[in-house]
Amino acid sequence: MTTTTPRTATVAEVAFPPAFRWGAATAAYQIEGAADEDGRTPSIWDTFSKTPGKVRNGDTGDIAADHYHRMREDVALMARLGLTDYRFSVSWPRVQPTGRGPASQKGLDFYRALVDELLANGIRPVLTLYHWDLPQELEDAGGWPQRDTAQRFADYTALVAEALGDRVPTWTTLNEPWCAAFLGYAEGVHAPGRTEPKAALRAAHHLNLAHGLAVGVLREQAHPSAEVSLTLNLAAVRPLSDSPADTDAARRIDALANRIFLDPVFRGHYPEDLRADTAQLTDWSFVRDDDLPIICRPIDSLGVNYYTPTMVAAGSHPLPSPWPAAQDHARFLPVPGPRTAMDWPVDAEGLYELLTRLRDELPGTPLLVTENGAAYDDYADPEGVVHDPERITYLRAHLEAVHRAMAAGADVRGYFVWSLLDNFEWAYGYSKRFGMVHVDFASQRRTPKDSARWYADVVAHGRLPQD
């Protein structure tokens, strides 16, 4: 199936509303380091990264970008860039080391200090409660496939909300539950590294349930004006052709990538075609009668993470696969176009497709683009300057797509670049650089790249600059 190349907007057209939120995003395990300080215990990513062969070069997040010790320096960087918002995640094992019981006050003190530093610099804190760092003790008890983990998450949410609920204006329950469930429990390329398709479907449901339980806690304990959100890495799924077989393959992937979260959260049910597709694996009896009313508690906005589209055709996918019960019906094809260092195609039209789909399917739901960015092979030249023109081109194209979607009626309220800093890129270790700010991991020196200065100009003027 072919798509029409969108018209590129002129510079004068690409101006954003004065209240548009301009941010950058990070995640605790990817930047904080201090893996065993002040009572923090291992998360599943600590365990996974120390398992031989799981992470490139044997890299771990033990030190990462050392943000735990350089937080004020990093907030000062954000202020110089003019960011209005900063999206970060709380490390569950830093705040509640065993995943049960009382909070570690030293762990909470770090986040209290971070929030206070952000507010002192006029930057809105956007707090994510879960970005994949499940306490290892909870995984040892069964992890996300176990219902109890959802209740443990609700208890953890209460600890964070009690400490920070008076001054955090935006709360996100989960980041990309698809990755946590299907990369972690089906394909095994993310922590905890299990390859159990049935368990992955249970994990997806219990992540949904954890989200709903957390929404209830936040409504009770956060400030009454707080914005409660969820961030999904929704897939822009395209069939190769209009043939029945290819469109059915796209339907199956759409159910597992998108509707397994959108439908219960916003409509209070799981898709019937998803249940039918996966009937050979499960009867879905792990969904209890009172789960769905909890999962679909109203939220104030939806975060959208987008990097690249997905093209599928009829066929099969080699095992292990992150697509339970779909691997015999769908194969994935390369999307034409330039590639990033991740070998991901650059295709901003996919972001436009997602935002306008959500406009149609979830009318009245404000949207935030909570992650968007690209990895390139960045390096500091002899003068210490980091030129990254490809990233600027990527960001420009995707901001143009956001602007076009807004002009078409999508209620997009903000945009967050992934990422503020070069960091530990999960199974790729330190081999991939997504940051607007270059980090020399040996010295921990921060160097804003050309893209950081370009983005600062966008933020300052609320429009895309002329090339």
Query: Over the stretch 82-119, which tens digit does the pLDDT of each residue have?
Result: 999 999 999 999 999 999 999 999 999 999 999 999 99
pLDDT band, very low/low/confident/very high, at 319 (cuts 50, 70, 90)? confident
Average pLDDT (66-74) is 98
The Cα 116–Cα 385 span in angstroms is: 31
Q: What pLDDT score does 8 carry?
A: 47
Within 10 angstroms of residue 39's Cβ, the number of other Cβ atoms is 15
Task: Determine what percent of the chain is predicted with pLDDT higher than 90.
Answer: 96
pLDDT band, very low/low/confident/very high, at 6 (cuts 50, 70, 90)? very low
Average pLDDT (243-264) is 98
Q: In what order do the strands lie in the sheet with 237-239?
A: 237-239, 310-314, 330-333
Q: What pLDDT score does 12 carry?
A: 52
Whether the predicted pLDDT of 10 surpasses 50: no
The Cα 152–Cα 96 span in angstroms is: 10
Whether the predicted pLDDT of 26 surpasses 70: yes
Q: What pLDDT score does 466 carry?
A: 80
Burial readout 423-460 (b: 16 or more C-beta within 10 A, e: otherwise): bbbbbbbbebbbbbbbbeeeebebbbbbbbebbbebbe
- 126-151 confidence digits (pLDDT tens): 999 999 999 999 999 999 999 999 99
Q: Closest Cα to residue 107, out of 120, 83, 91?
A: 91
Average pLDDT (431-444) is 98
CB neighbour list of residue 25: distance below 8 Å, 6 or more residues apart: 86, 87, 88, 126, 370, 371, 416, 417, 418, 419, 420
Q: Which two tokens stand for residue 137?
A: 């003790």
246, 312 Cβ separation under 8 angstroms: yes
- 442-460 confidence digits (pLDDT tens): 999 999 999 999 999 999 9
- Residue of higher predicted confidence among 12 and 3: 12
Apex 367 CA angle, 350 and 388, nearest 5: 55
pLDDT band, very low/low/confident/very high, at 4 (cuts 50, 70, 90)? very low
| Catalytic residue list | 176, 371
Whether the predicted pLDDT of 11 surpasses 90: no
Burial class (CB in 10 A: 0-12, 13-18, 19+), 379: exposed
Whether the predicted pLDDT of 231 surpasses 90: yes
Whether the predicted pLDDT of 1 surpasses 70: no
Q: What pLDDT score does 5 carry?
A: 41
Average pLDDT (236-241) is 98
Whether the predicted pLDDT of 13 surpasses 80: no
Within 10 angstroms of residue 363's Cβ, the number of other Cβ atoms is 9
Q: What pLDDT score does 87 carry?
A: 99
Average pLDDT (424-446) is 98
**pTM, entire model:** 0.97
